[in-house]
Each structure stands twice: as structure tokens, then as C-alpha cells.
Structure 1
Amino acid sequence: MRTEVSNLGVLPIEAFDAGLDSHHAALASESSGLLAGVAQRLDESLSTPGDISAELSSAAEALRTTIRDVAAPTRIAAELRQVLDPIALGIDDPEAFNALVGVFERYDVYFGTKRLMDPDAQSMLVQTLETASVVLADIACCMMESNEIRSVVDGFAAVTESLCDRVSADSPVAQSVQPSAAAPESDLKSTVLRRWRLGHHAFNLFTTFATRELRLAYASEDEEQAIRHLHLATRCLRATTSAMWYAEASPRNVYANWIRPSMVEASGKDSGFSGTDNLEFRWFRFAEDALMSSLTARFDGVEVWSNGLYAAVWGFVETRHLDLEHHALLAEKVVGQEPSLLAIRRQEQSTRNSSTVVSAVQALRMLTKRVIDVKAELQ
């Protein structure tokens, strides 16, 4: 299995410089329709595990067929130290910046991320179809709640719908590319670790597009366009939640015995990796923090927003609230009341001698309070 599915781009994506030619726009539209149809059937008619598995396997095969008609764009590898801007990351200390980039680099190696320069819509289409085909094929044979499966599928539909916005009749059509064939899994451990990494590939793809749609929303001069971008961002955000249910679709002892130790080994420190080591999620947080102030300045105050804009913003914030609640459940599922890797790291770095470390569940509840405060401002 080609698990090195690229997470394209290293800077916040506001828009792609080169859009899709008419051929690839049609493929994106066709894929979006296919995925939206699967999501709708998961909502309305697919009720047994066998039905769901068959539907997902069929969709994965259809996407693999589509990939054969997608041209392979030129991809230029990116070195994080050369392209990341410390100011954009809010860091003014060169030593701290170098240490942070080192964490990002180890994180990318562990999850099989290939960083690229200047992604365009065609690169993102390749990324989306490759990731969707392998993830849906694997979800077809793992244990997940049906609504979470639907949200993953809808997330891929939202990404391809977003790509349909970028159409350029002048974009050249390059030679087609054939994806790598799947390799047989040797044992349960390799299956679990592969799923853990693929789940993060899906998470990062959805996060990248949620960030992009948020930036397009608060940069839009047209309220209807801002509302549409917010709806797409919300669908992508909801899909990130389900991507983590997929990544962690294994028993607690499997996470404790295989996944967590593998991150500790790859990170080079006892505290392993945490969500703050994910560069895509950092860009999302920046865009999320800018959302309210930017929209308020552009479309007057919250009190005079139209019903449509208010509903779109509320839907996004409510989905973020739900996302954090889900993550608290995920944390309890895999580590119980133990501290998170981030909490362990902060204790290691602290100069104070304290035996109290906040549990992962409690830390997520504290983050949830921030979103609840934002909701209170909206009401």
C-alpha cells in the first residue's frame, strides 16, 4: 500500500494559483457526485455492515478507476526550514523555531508525509482521490459507527466540491499516472499502524481544506459566497473528527502497546507526538481564531448579520464544539484517565516539581470551554 500519500503544501492555502482544466474539473465533479451519493445512501438506506462494506468497496474501486484518468502534476519537494516563516508561526526566537521545525520534520517522517511546494488544484485532486480510495477501501473492513463513516465520505465529497471551484480552461493536461498497487498486510500490528497513518492523512487533507474554506469565507466580499465557504469548512471539520475515529479503530491495549510506543520512538523523546506537532492543524487554528473578528469587520457586527450568515457561523462553531467532545471520548477510549503526550512533555519541560498532570480527557474539556465561550458571544 502506498502509505506515503502526500499532505500537500506547507503554508496556509487561500487559493490555488493554477485551477483545473475542463477534463480534471469534470473528474472532480464526477467524484464529488459519487461520494455525495454514497453519503446519502449511508444516511437513508444502508443499514447492515455487509451493505455498508459493499458500498464503500465499490466507491473505492470507482475512485481507483478515476485516478487512471488523472494527470500527474509536477511535484517539487519542500524543505520545511527553507519555506516556513517563523513570523507566520508566531515565533521570534530562532532557537525555538529550529526546535519546532525539528518536531514537524520528525512528525512528517513518522506519518509518511511528503511536503511539496506551491500546490495547485490538480495536485490536490490527485491527493484527494488517492487518499479517498485507500481510506474507503480500509474502512469497508474495520469497525466504525455508520454516521462516522458517512462523515468521512462526506468530507471527501466536500473536498472535491471545493476543487470544482478552481477551473481554468488554459491549464495543460499532462500524462496520466497509475497508483501503486496495494501490498498484503503481514500481521495485525502492521494493519493497525497503517490505519493510524492513513487516518492522519485523511485528517490532514480535511484540515487543509477546512483552513482554505475558512480563509476564503472571511476574505469574501459577497455574503452568499462566505456562507457557502463556511458550509464547506464545516463539512471538512466534521470529517476530521471521523477521520480520528477511523485512525483509532482498534482496542485500547493496541494503542498502548503499539501505536503510542511507535510515536515515542519516532519522536526521539518519551512524550512522543501530540496534536500541536501537526503543522496543518496549526494553520487551521490560526484561521479559526481569525474567523469571528474578520467576519464581524467585513459584514458589520454579529447583531446585524443575516440569518444565513449567522446560521453558517453557528454551524461551524457548533461542529468545533462537537469535535472537541468527540476527542474527549477518543482520549478516554485509548488512554483512559492518563495524561496526554502533550501534558507529559510540558511536565518534562517544567522547572516545578509537581506530581499532578492533567489527564488527556480533562485537557480537552478545558479546550472545549474556549468554544463554549465563543458560542456565548454569539448568543
Structure 2
Amino acid sequence: MSTKPKTNFTLNILNGLSLAIVVALIPGAVFSAIVKLFGTAPAAVEISHMLNLMPSFLPVFAGFAVASLFKLGFIEAAAMAGAGAVGAGVATFTPKGFLLNGSGDIINLGITLAISAALTLLLANRLGQFKMLLLPAIVLVIGGGIGFLTLPYSRLVSQWIGQLINTATTLQPLLMGIIVGMAFAALVVSPISSVGIATAISLGGIGAGSANLGIVAASFTLAMMGARVNPVGGTLAHFIGSPKIQMANMLSKPKLFIPILIAAGLSGGVGALFGITGTPASAGFGISGLIGPLAALSGGATLFTVIIAFVVIPVIIAASVSYVAMHITHLIDATDVKLPEMQ
């Protein structure tokens, strides 16, 4: 039996998540730091509220993106979006109504969407004229319900990973910088939230700085390797937004982790040597929204040091690693990091 249908199913889930992450998280990453410059001006406050709301729509966007990749209609997409919102855990019920908080658990969102997609594909053409009435309810209750039940266990996995990374931060600074840089580069291109892990383990100081620099190196490396086959906007999105847009490619082609982890380890180690620091609130963002660089400046680094650590050195490392991977060892081809396209 061919494994291609199973492969396509998995890639549609991962690609849908990647696309939704870009739409939900990039606006805030790009514009939040700019909006903060205007302080408490009424217009700036309202724009900040809009930007802060976008991440909570991630499960909805993901449901529609996955449905589109499966070439499903609006009813099917809406049903999957609803189930995704439940499974991601973005909404908490309170006596005053639902409270939206963050983008939810991305691992559990993927699990929920996989179950919901399978259920939708199974039932969509079997409900006849009752599809509009029954499909949204069935997918929401079964797909979303299973996601609701698995959510606590998925969060435990994230916490366990966080504890492993926290252990690395107790090592001596240089080795810690290398390990944490590599760990967060791997996290940022996985379904796990690098920001969520950093917050969960209260990662600060040099550990936070190395985490951000590992992500920056991964961003530049992926952008350079795919620049020939990706549009300019997609290339810039790797470091202006998030390298998580490559999640589907990374998980389906594990060899991509080799150059990414090498670049991230080198950059994280250099950051530790330079004394680049951060806070739990800034770790996991990389250079997106200038959150990492601004935190380093607040931690006492000079502007010159920040530019060298966050731009010059990662670019040099990324260019060198990319050249070796693509032109000397021929381990990576540009098409390996081609971004998915929505029709």
C-alpha cells in the first residue's frame, strides 16, 4: 500500500498550521515594537489591542488553512476551525464569559485538526442535505472534545521539554549558550511554542539571549537556503516573522535540522561569549519585532554589540553553513525549503 496519501494528510496538517502561524503571529511581531513607541496615544492603544487579539485567532485560521489544503468547502472549514479553537485551549470559561489568552497549545491544535480533518473527510459526502446541520456539531463535539481531553497531557509534554532546557541553563555559560541556542532553534520550527517554553521555565539572562540568537541563526539560514525558490515576502518572513513557517518542511525532511542546529549552536555560543541577555518575556522571539535585540539593550549590551550579535554574526554563520550544506556537501537543495502556496 502506498504511503503517499498518509504523507499528504500529514503535510496538509503541518502546512496549514505553518500558514496560520504566519498570519496570526507576524502582525504582532512586526508592528508591536513600533506601536509601543507612541506610548498611550489612543490610536496606538487600539492598534495594540488589535495586534494582541490576532494570536488567539490562530486555531481558527489553522482550521480554514488545513481545510483549504484538503480542498474542502466553507462548512467543512468552519467545523474544523471551531474544533481547533476548542482543542488549542485559547478560551477559558469564566462566570463573566470566555477569556481569550494567547495562541493556545500548538501541539494539541495539530492533534485536534488531524482528528477533525479525518472525521470531516469521512462524513462530508455522507450526510447529504443534513451536512450543514450535522457536520459542524459532530466535528466540534468529537474532534474538539478529543482535543479538549488531550490538552492537559499535551501541556505536560511542553513542560517536560521545558524542564530539559532548564537543566541545560545550569551548565557553564558557553556550553549552555550552544545547547540552548540549538534547543530553541529546534523548538521554533516545531509545533511547540518557543515563547511558551521560555515563559514556562522562566528562562532569563544569558539563557534567554542564547535562545534568541539560536532562533535568529535558524531564521537567516532557512531564509538563505530557500531564497531562490521562495518569494521575497516569504524569505523576509523567516526573520521578520517566524521560521516556524518551515515547520512542515523541517518535520518531513529531518536532514534540514543539521545546518540549522549547527548555525544555531554557533550563534548561541557567540552570544554567551558576548554576554547577550534577555528575559522570560523576550526569549523565544529571536529578532521578530526587535523583541530580542531590545531586551539585550535593556540588559546592558551596547547598540554596537547588539547589531554584531543579532545581525552580523548570524548572517555570516548562516551564509557559511548554507554554502557548505548546498554547494559542498549537497545535503540540501533549495526546493527542500520551498514554502507552501495557498490557492
Question: Please, what TM-score do these two structures have when normalized by structure 2?
Answer: 0.27
More helix by share: 2
Structure ranking higher on relative contact order (CA contacts 8 Å, 6+ apart) = 1
Question: Please, what TM-score do these two structures have when normalized by structure 1?
Answer: 0.25
